Amino acid sequence: MRGPAQKRRGIRAQMAAGFGIFALCTLALLWVFQIFLLTPFYRAIKTREAGRISRQVVKELDSPELAPAAYALCAGTGASIFVSDELGREYVGYKYGFRESLAYDLTRRERAALFEEVNLMGGEYTRIFSDRLLLYAVTVRTGDGNHRLVVIETEITPLESTVETLTVQLLCLTLILLPLGIVLAVVISRRIARPIMEINESAKRLGGGDYSVRFEGRGPREVGGLAETLNFAADELSKTDGLRRELLANVSHDLRTPLTMIKGYAEVMRDLPGENTPENVQIIIDEAGRLNDLVNDLLDLSRLQAGVLELKRERFDLTESIREILTRYDKLADFKFPFEPKESVYVVADKLKISQVVYNLINNAVNYAGEDKTVALSQEVMGDHVRISVTDTGEGIPQDRLRDIWDRYYKVDREHRRAQIGTGLGLSIVKNVLDLHGGSYGVISELGKGSTFWFQLPIDKGEDDDNESETAE
Ligand code: ADP
């Protein structure tokens, strides 16, 4: 993993290269356009202008206004204008001021020869003489069938000195732009790369287990966002790590308590024959049962969270199964468990897992029950869903903890709570089982007054005696 990553170029080098290439491309384009293409551009523009003048002359060829029109064009544009017939006989000829004019000075024969040449070239012809004169000629047929040669001659400015000036300017520009680009690249890349490098350092520390590390999000917005996300991740990791440590402490404590009891009672029963009573054996069985429950909880949760647990969905009477569960609390003689459902409700779900949800909720309610030692259960049909609620009148849960209690290992009162009450896994199992079923769940609680934990499942309305035929979800 490391090798290729190290071979890759860093942000700085990449940005410097990017800026460098950008500056070079800009300069190269400037060179191409200003130096090499300036002359062709200029000549193309001049040729277009000559073409435009010639078209205006051609328009007037048949009219008596030809001479004044040509004169006006000559005066207006500074171009020499000349019109002759195919034999070189002059019709109109104007030149601007005292300017030298090739076309104007042509002999009649030369004009006739030019006519032929232009005709041969397809009726249009452009030529530049000594880099100073642009001769544009066309041959046309007038309305009465006669041939005419129209010659437009314009002066073109020699561009050498301009090009030379531009070359020097561009050289200066290159000398300024290149180092400027590199300096800018270094400055900007440092602004971007520095915070990323810092974040990388912090991330390494986080990876090494230092959850107190903070990520500084200086520089661009995205880096700020990254730092924020990483800070959040670090907080979560640290929270989970804290809970994990606590669980380890809890679990070892919870495992040790029943084990000590079992060992103690077994030893007493071995050494003192009189102690070999059914009551003592029952204590050993109960403690072993608690151990078993704890280990099962842990296994269940890890299986639920690893997503390997498959639900064994079946259609069953939820009301009846809650009644069954309640019979097992009979031995808690001083507790009352009122449950008065109006009807039997069927659901399609994993019976064992849903029973576990109900167990966990009742167990919590028993553990945190109030003076009245009552855990009230209720079943409400709400449209196509059934809601089961477990209510106690115990100490309640502070509002700001209501969200956390569903987290794994979470216990509201960590310091001096009866350790035997639980591991903080119960509600996490409830949450995972209901999530897997797509059911909803929640808690309403008021400090000092008690809590109501509820969950909802879709009702299966199939025939009551019909098994696993329909799925409600
Ligand atoms: P535990 O095994 O500790 O009961 P749970 O995940 O079942 O773990 O519950 C998490 C925490 O939520 C408990 O430690 C307790 O602080 C709080 N809690 C759960 N049920 C109740 C309840 N009925 N009344 C008051 N607090 C409760």
Q: 3-state SS of the chain?
A: CHHHHHHCCCHHHHHHHHHHHHHHHHHHHHHHHHHHCHHHHHHHHHHHHHHHHHHHHHHCCCCCCHHHHHHHHHHHHCCEEEEEECCCCEEEEECCCCCCCCCCCCCHHHHHHHHHHHHHCCCEEEEEECCCEEEEEEEEECCCCCEEEEEEEEECCCCHHHHHHHHHHHHHHHHHHHHHHHHHHHHHHHHHHHHHHHHHHHHHHHHCCCCCCCCCCCCCHHHHHHHHHHHHHHHHHHHHHHHHHHHHHHHHHHHHHHHHHHHHHHHHHHHCHHHCCHHHHHHHHHHHHHHHHHHHHHHHHHHHHHCCCCCCEEEEEHHHHHHHHHHCCCCCCCCECCECCCCCCEEEEEHHHHHHHHHHHHHHHHHCCCCCCEEEEEEEEECCEEEEEEEECCCCCCHHHCCHHHCCCCCCCCCCCCHHHCCCCHHHHHHHHHHHHCCEEEEEEECCCEEEEEEEEECCCCCCCCCCCCCCC
DSSP-derived letter for residue 310 is: P
Most confident of 296-305, 326-335, 454-463: 454-463
> If you count DSSP H runs as helices and E runs as strands, how many of each does the chain have, helices first?
11, 11
User: Residue 466: which pLDDT band, with cuts at 50, 70 and 90?
Assistant: very low
Give the pLDDT confidence of 307-328 residue by residue, as tens digits.
Answer: 767 788 999 999 999 999 898 8
User: Residue 195: which pLDDT band, with cuts at 50, 70 and 90?
Assistant: confident
Residue 114: pLDDT over 70: yes
Distance CA 148, CA 106 (A): 16
Residue 386: pLDDT over 90: yes
Nearest residue (by CA) to ligand 1, atom 25, is 396
Residue 409: pLDDT over 70: no
Nearest residue (by CA) to ligand 1, atom 2, is 422
- Calculate how far, in angstroms, residue 386's C-alpha sits from the geometric centre of ligand 1: 23
pLDDT at 450: 92
Nearest residue (by CA) to ligand 1, atom 20, is 364
Q: Which residues contact 210 (CB under 8 A, 6 or more apart)?
A: none
| Average pLDDT estimate for 214-239 | 88
Atom of ligand 1 lying closest to residue 453 CA: 23
Residue 467: pLDDT over 70: no
Per the CB < 8 A criterion, the answer to whether 185 and 16 are in contact is: yes
Question: pLDDT averaged over the chain?
Answer: 84
| Average pLDDT estimate for 110-125 | 90
- Calculate how far, in angstroms, residue 422's C-alpha sits from the geometric centre of ligand 1: 8
Judge if pTM exceeds 0.85.
Answer: no
From 405, 418, 428, 452, mutation site for ligand 1 pocket: most ligand atoms within 8 A of C-beta: 405
- Calculate how far, in angstroms, residue 232's C-alpha sits from the geometric centre of ligand 1: 26
Q: Give residue ranges with CB within 6 A of ligand 1.
A: 360, 364-365, 368, 392, 394-395, 397, 405, 410-413, 421-428, 451
Atom of ligand 1 lying closest to residue 426 CA: 7
- Calculate how far, in angstroms, residue 423's C-alpha sits from the geometric centre of ligand 1: 9
Q: Quick one: CA dihedral 102, 103, 105, 107, positive or negative? A: positive
Atom of ligand 1 lying closest to residue 406 CA: 6
From 371, 372, 397, mutation site for ligand 1 pocket: most ligand atoms within 8 A of C-beta: 397
Nearest residue (by CA) to ligand 1, atom 3, is 424
pLDDT at 412: 66
Distance CA 344, CA 465 (A): 12
Atom of ligand 1 lying closest to residue 365 CA: 23
More confident: 248 or 154: 154
- Calculate how far, in angstroms, residue 288's C-alpha sits from the geometric centre of ligand 1: 23
Nearest residue (by CA) to ligand 1, atom 7, is 426
- Calculate how far, in angstroms, residue 286's C-alpha sits from the geometric centre of ligand 1: 22
- Calculate how far, in angstroms, residue 30's C-alpha sits from the geometric centre of ligand 1: 74
Give the pLDDT confidence of 28-79 residue by residue, as tens digits.
Answer: 888 888 878 888 888 899 999 999 999 999 988 888 888 898 889 888 888 8
Nearest residue (by CA) to ligand 1, atom 12, is 405
| Average pLDDT estimate for 238-267 | 80
